[in-house]
Amino acid sequence: MVRTIGVFDSGVGGLSVLHHIRDALPEARLIYVADSAHVPYGGRSAAYIEARSMALTRFLLSQGAEAIVIACNTATAAAALPLRKQFSNIPFIGMEPAVKPAVAATRSNVVGVLATVGTLESARFAALLDKYAGNVKIVTQGCPGLVELVERDELHSVEARSLVERYTAPLLAAGADTFILGCTHYPFLAPLIREVVGEQITLIDTGAAVARELKRRVDSELSPCEMQGVAGSESFYTSGDAEQAARIVSQLWGKQVVVEPLPHAYR
């Protein structure tokens, strides 16, 4: 028996999480869906994102997924609760901006958050601030355009640098010394962000923590699965252009991969 884990995101950003999942579960079969025909989720309504999340979940379950990672902060905010209600027997692991570790890390008592507008406006994010911010000042910055740049594999373009400079400037001006990368696409821009803001700024994302939580829940909630010596595998699907996705996914995943078109019933 092979442990099968499903992962979905609005596009290719969730690959930043998939890298950590592969490290945590080296022998698992991983199925990744990039909903690139509908990217970005940040400007979509909660109802739209919920409907897409339901469709992608049904596809992943049809492929044998035993647990599902919602590798998207915006989709987690909009759809995690209805997904858990609809598919109550499936462990869902979501993403949320890393407010708690950022508050622990800051020395200036100012934390900056780079995220999509959808994440920043969500009730889930407001609850995180109420729970963990305490006396630390949280400065938020919506980042329209960054997701699209990662989707086009423009990680070091002139436009990317311009947007990163524009979005980080208010956080630096406010005295933030710790930045939360509040979207799974943004870790791919971390080297550029580091160039712009300098080595003194701490950058925090949640991919590794999500992978640890996935492993904990898989070990505690799913039936035992003996997989020692089994080679892990990855399958990739997209609702967008498969040929274009294969080029970008191969670049971000670090080796040549095939990306299959998502069946029409789930698009």
Sign of the alpha-carbon dihedral angle for 116, 210, 79, 110: negative
Q: Which residue has the tokens 């900056």?
A: 112
Dist CA 209 CA 161 (whole Å): 28
Chain length of the chain? 267
Is 143 catalytic? The answer is no
Is 72 catalytic? The answer is yes
Buried b (16+ CB within 10 A) or exposed e, 62-88: eeebbbbbbbbbbbbbbbbeebeeeee
Dist CA 154 CA 182 (whole Å): 19
Phi-psi region of 198 (alpha: psi -120 to 50; beta: other; left: phi over 0): left
Q: Which of 21, 49, 72, 211 is catalytic?
A: 72
Q: Which of 111, 183, 210, 259 is catalytic?
A: 183
User: In DSSP terms, which residues pair with 70 in a beta bridge?
Assistant: 8
Residues noted as catalytic? 72, 183
